[in-house]
Copies of this chain bind each other. A is one copy, B any other.
Amino acid sequence: MDSQLSPPGSPKNVVAMTPHQTELRVQTRGRGFHEITREVATWVRGTGIETGLCTLFLRHTSASLVIQENADPDVRRDFDTYFADLVPDGWRRFIHTAEGDDDMPAHIMSAMMGVHLSIPIRDGELALGTWQGIYVWEHRKTPHARQVVVHGAGI
């Protein structure tokens, strides 16, 4: 493991350590993946952070934030097929059913996949792998307005 220690801080660096924050609003079209990689990457560039950390936080309990393959759309279709089978809508043993037969599956998938991501910033860019995209994964069947708080800190 090659350690690339950052150069000693200077007054200029210290000032730039001030955190940056914004909110991204995402209108989903119902169950499925909504890519936000470009929006987040553009915002990170605008902060001027060269070395740092970008954290995304989704303010909901029935959708997720995930990193997944951004190449073959069949991958995301298989995700939908697999999870519809693993966490079936309207499972007979669910008792929280008042908000729809897709609500408990959405809560469960939100807990499984999670609602936050932390991605290092390196050389002024998100250090994503070649095939990694950032997605809001909507678990409800109907369109929803989703909020993602984006936080960046670094120098």
Give chain A's interface residues, CB within 8 Å of chain B. 1-9, 13-25, 39, 43, 46-47, 51-53, 55, 57-61, 66-69, 72, 74-75, 77-79, 81-82, 85-87, 91, 93-96, 98, 104, 107-108, 110-120, 122, 127-132, 147, 149-151, 153-155
Contacts and interface: CB of A to CB of B under 8 A. Distances in A.
A75 B96 CA distance: 6
Contact of A43 (B3, B15, B118): B3
Given A69-B107, A72-B96, A55 B57 contact: no
Contacts of A108: 78-79, 82
A107 B53 contact: no
Contacts of A86: 86
